[in-house]
C-alpha cells in the first residue's frame, strides 16, 4: 500500500492552485491538486514539499490534512494537505498548465467534470474552507 499526497495550495486572496495533467491519456487535460507518491519511510509533509519542488519549483509550508481520504486503484491511498507557498513562483514542469481558481470557478469545474475524478472528493471541504477566508 502506497500513499499519494496532494497539496491544496492556497493564495492569500482565497484562491486555490490547480494543475492540468498531461498524462496518462485517461486523465490528460483534467485538473488536479498537484502531488505524488510518498517514498517508503518518508513523512507526508516532507513528501509533499519534495513533489512540489520537483513539479512546480516552489517551497511550501504545509498545514493540516484534509478530511477525505480516497482509495485509488493499484493499492494507492490519496490524501491532501493544506499548503501555502513560501518561496518561488509555480511553474508547470510536468503539468500542461497551472491556474489559480476562485471558489466559484472550482465549483464550476467540478460540476462540468474538469477535475481528476478522485479529487472531486475534496471539493466540498475546499469550498467551505476557502469561503471562510
Ligand atoms: O509523481 P508520481 O508518479 O509519484 O505520482 P502521480 O503520477 O502524480 O500520481 C500517482 C497516482 O495518484 C496516479 O494514479 C494519479 O492519477 C493519482 N492522483 C490523483 O488521483 N489525484 C491527485 N491530485 C494526484 C494524483
**ipTM of the assembly?**
0.93
Ligand 1 pocket: which of 7, 35, 54 to mutate (most atoms <8 Å of CB)? 35
Provide the pLDDT for residue 102: 98
Contact 5, 63 (CB under 8 A): no
119 lines ligand 1 (CB under 6 A): yes
pLDDT tens for the chain, 133 residues long, are 899 999 999 999 999 999 999 999 999 999 999 999 999 999 999 999 999 999 999 999 999 999 999 999 989 999 999 999 999 999 999 999 999 999 999 999 999 999 999 999 999 999 999 999 8
Tell me what pLDDT residue 133 has.
81
For residue 118, the model assigns a pLDDT of: 97
Is the CB–ligand 1 distance for residue 72 below 6 Å? yes
Question: Residues 32, 18: contact at Cβ < 8 Å?
Answer: yes
Give 105 Cα–ligand 1 centroid separation in angstroms. 22
- Residue closest via CA to ligand 1's atom 10 equals 36
Rg of the chain, C-alpha, whole Å: 14
Amino acid at each position: 500500500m502506497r500513499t499519494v499526497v496532494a497539496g491544496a495550495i492556497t493564495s492569500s486572496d482565497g484562491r486555490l492552485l490547480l494543475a492540468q495533467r498531461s498524462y496518462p491519456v485517461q486523465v490528460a487535460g483534467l485538473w488536479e491538486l498537484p502531488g505524488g507518491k510518498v517514498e517508503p519511510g518518508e513523512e507526508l509533509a516532507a513528501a509533499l514539499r519534495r513533489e512540489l519542488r520537483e513539479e512546480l519549483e516552489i517551497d511550501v509550508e504545509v498545514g493540516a490534512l484534509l478530511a477525505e481520504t480516497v482509495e485509488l486503484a493499484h493499492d494507492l491511498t490519496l490524501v491532501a494537505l493544506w499548503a501555502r507557498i513560501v518561496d518561488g513562483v509555480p511553474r508547470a514542469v510536468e503539468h500542461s498548465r497551472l491556474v489559480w481558481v476562485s471558489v466559484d470557478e472550482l465549483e464550476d469545474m467540478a460540476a462540468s467534470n474538469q477535475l481528476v475524478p478522485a479529487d472531486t472528493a475534496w471539493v466540498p471541504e475546499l469550498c467551505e474552507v476557502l469561503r471562510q477566508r
